[in-house]
Amino acid sequence: VNFNPEPYQKAYEAKKIVYLTSESDNVINELDHNAVYVIGGLVDHNCHKGLCHRLATEAGVEHGRLPLDEYLEMKSRKVLTIDH
């Protein structure tokens, strides 16, 4: 894991970026070791629902979600917050 204080769009090539967001239809079943996975720093729920997906789309970068539906039974939205 690497942390970079710069905006991800400036720090990495756009073609390598995958923004993780629960709203994505792209399921990540295997990690690409050449990709840069962006984890948003905002809890993406309630009044911010869909924000990370929108930011990825507007930035023109690839987005994806973890396969939570396939492995976990969750009663609410499939969002991993910092308290999971």
- List residues with catalytic annotation: 44
β-pair partners for 38: 19
The string over 6-29, giving b where at least 16 C-beta atoms fall within 10 Å of a residue's C-beta and e elsewhere, is: eebeeebeeeebbbbbbbbeeebe
Backbone φ and ψ of 61, nearest 5° = -110, 160
